Structure 1
């Protein structure tokens, strides 16, 4: 078979071009530091690298989300810490105001100081973060969650659901508690609170005061129910009836086996009454129609409200006590307020503990995220990063191959019989 000069030329050129292409490919790898420069170099590795790269990007986004979540939780915890200090200060003022040695002007001064604590708590309840979102408004974080009604009371208008943020692929974490859960709730283990107030929220007409209630038997059949002492009879022969609230029927009713009893039958004006695994000590004169509610702190009969508690305390301290009835109202209100402040303090402390637990969880998730990123980085490196020792050896080999191909081309190009004639 005759091999033409054109065929030899084309084969030599093709060989040289192939060697040059392989040499340039290794050159690109060395320049970029990657062994997969184009997807065609290794389609399977390139495809896996895209997936790993996407996972790394998502992991970075979750990291940024955790930074944002941590900032919000830390701000909330800081505000709640200030609130516990304010509540402790308010409680100290109420204990001071309970002293019989104080005059009405002294109590008015305490009321003025208590107003400052009250306004501070309202301001903190409407605190916002650096982005303008209100910390305690739940999902309705674009407006102050607490506003004053036309009657001057504080009302919550925020959302009832806590604001959450996705901080990992399978974890959403609350980054802001709603104000209702903080200021209008109590811990699940909160006990009973007594209030000397009627169903229409008016004060009693008599001068009866209470101490307690004290728990005597949590295993009592009636423990956990709400109770009401209703006074009746005449001024000369007052009586009382213990009623229990029926949640199913939504009404008050007498306790089976208990009937109307005489009040302060020994003439001392003092009496201790036991019911539902607790007892309460009463003192003073009761008038027909007076009532004392003894209910769980989270009862529907008189739900917890930190601001209402302070409003009631300020109101009785501002008004001078001109008679025994006024003094009884003041004492009862202060006793109830102190217990309700204790419950509010415990509830906010529980929320703070929850915030601390969430911060700890974010630290754990961060550590997992760092390890995950290291694994992604190593996997991506194994897929696309260049082994320089191997690449340099390949570079030298391809360089020799290219030079040999070029030399062969030059030698074959000059081959002709005329050169030997």
Structure 2
């Protein structure tokens, strides 16, 4: 077979063009930082990489959702902390108001202060997030949850739902709390309790009421009617007076002591069973004690909700850590499939250097051979 000059040129040109194409592809791969640029380069790896990229996109969306969830929960937690501080302050005020040394004017001043505290609590109940949505109105996030009813009371306008976000492939998390459960749940309405406390402190304690209450207590009959058949509170006072008058060396001292102790139990039971006279220190102390217990219960309720919010925030931190590991795993697998690891790029650079050397040598050979002619050898 004869090889013509034209065929030699065509073969050399085709080979040089192919080598230049390979070098161009290598440059593109190095610029992109990976071997697989098109699905045709490795169909199986490209398909798996596409699936992984979709999974990774979902993982990134979960990251965004967790950030939003954490932001909402942080606002709920901050509001609940402020509300807890206020409840603690109110409970302290209840204890102070029960002090017999407090004057009527001091209690009135305290009631005036509590009026301002009531507005603060209403502000906590109607707190909003950064987008203006109410934190404690359930699914009705654009509806103000608590409003005044015109009679001094507060009504709830939200629902019992809780906003939620998908924070992981298998986890949907509540990012709010029930406003009614926090501020009016468990039979404890903080707004009503505060209004009742304010009204109670406005009632003056009078000496006449105290005297009337003491007389009523001394003549209050114990409902069981057991012996001795006399008024138990007065009976205890008489027994205690007799005990105080006796000497410890008196042979009847132990009997007097036992009698006074037994009557003390009946006296306490009788006193607890009666209704004190309105305006007396006893009436005030009893109602304040009941309110102190109510506010303690409210603090416990808020504490439970705060703990739940904190647990969810901690879970979000754990999910973030797990998501970061998943992201690294997905990226490493995609790098393996697409040849985007450092070792793969180094291999591409070496291949480019080698092929560039081949191309340079081939070009020199082509130039040398293309200039050959028989005329150079004719004498």
TM surpasses 0.5:
yes
Does the Cα contact within 8 Å between 1:310 and 1:337 map onto a contact in 2?
A: no
Instruction: Tell me what 2:293 maps to.
Output: 339
Following superposition of structure 1 onto structure 2, how do residues 5-404 of structure 1 map, counting pairs within 5 Å?
A: 5-185=5-185, 298=186, 303-320=187-204, 325-327=277-279, 333-384=287-338, 385=340, 387-404=344-361
CA RMSD, aligned part only?
2.6
Q: State the distance in 1 between where 2:101 and 2:28 align.
A: 92
Does the Cα contact within 8 Å between 1:136 and 1:177 map onto a contact in 2?
A: yes
Q: State the distance in 1 between where 2:306 and 2:116 align.
A: 23
What is the Cα deviation at residue 59 of structure 1? 2.1
Does the Cα contact within 8 Å between 2:34 and 2:345 map onto a contact in 1?
A: no
What is the Cα deviation at residue 415 of structure 1? 5.8
What is the Cα deviation at residue 394 of structure 1? 1.2
Does the Cα contact within 8 Å between 1:8 and 1:412 map onto a contact in 2?
A: no
What is the Cα deviation at residue 6 of structure 1? 3.8
What is the Cα deviation at residue 371 of structure 1? 0.9
Q: Report which stretch shifted further, 114-123 or 10-19.
A: 10-19
What is the Cα deviation at residue 21 of structure 1? 1.1
Q: Show structure 2 runs of 5+ residues with no match.
A: 210-275
What is the Cα deviation at residue 357 of structure 1? 0.7
What is the Cα deviation at residue 410 of structure 1? 4.0
What is the Cα deviation at residue 181 of structure 1? 1.8
Does the Cα contact within 8 Å between 2:66 and 2:167 map onto a contact in 1?
A: yes
Q: Report which stretch shifted further, 100-109 or 396-405.
A: 100-109
What is the Cα deviation at residue 407 of structure 1? 4.2
- Deviation per residue, 1:390-410 (Å, 9 max, x gap): 223211321233234434544
Q: State the distance in 2 between where 1:136 and 1:311 align.
A: 21
- Deviation per residue, 1:178-208 (Å, 9 max, x gap): 20121122xxxxxxxxxxxxxxxxxxxxxxx
Q: How many residues align?
A: 305
Structure number with the higher strand fraction is 1
Does the Cα contact within 8 Å between 1:19 and 1:405 map onto a contact in 2?
A: no
Q: State the distance in 1 between where 2:113 and 2:346 align.
A: 78
Q: Report which stretch shifted further, 43-52 or 97-106.
A: 97-106
Q: State the distance in 1 between where 2:331 and 2:159 align.
A: 42
Q: State the distance in 2 between where 1:339 and 1:144 align.
A: 29
Q: State the distance in 2 between where 1:64 and 1:51 align.
A: 20
- Deviation per residue, 1:306-343 (Å, 9 max, x gap): 21122222223324468655348755543432222111
Question: With structure 2 as the length reference, what TM-score do the two structures score?
Answer: 0.72
SS at match of 1:139: coil
Q: State the distance in 1 between where 2:36 and 2:148 align.
A: 66
Q: State the distance in 2 between where 1:416 and 1:41 align.
A: 43
CA gap of 1:120–1:6, structure 2 versus 1, over 3 A, is same
After TM superposition, the runs of 4+ consecutive aligned structure 1 residues lying more than 6 A away are: none
CA gap of 1:99–1:392, structure 2 versus 1, over 3 A, is closer
What is the Cα deviation at residue 344 of structure 1? 0.8
Does the Cα contact within 8 Å between 1:164 and 1:175 map onto a contact in 2?
A: yes
Instruction: Tell me what 1:279 maps to.
Output: none
Structure number with the higher helix fraction is 2
- Deviation per residue, 1:214-249 (Å, 9 max, x gap): xxxxxxxxxxxxxxxxxxxxxxxxxxxxxxxxxxxx
Which has the larger Rg? 2
SS at match of 1:173: strand
Question: With structure 1 as the length reference, what TM-score do the two structures score?
Answer: 0.65
Instruction: Tell me what 1:291 maps to.
Output: none
What is the Cα deviation at residue 167 of structure 1? 1.7
Q: State the distance in 1 between where 2:332 and 2:152 align.
A: 63
Q: State the distance in 2 between where 1:92 and 1:101 align.
A: 16
Q: Show structure 1 runs of 5+ residues with no match.
A: 186-297
SS at match of 1:326: coil
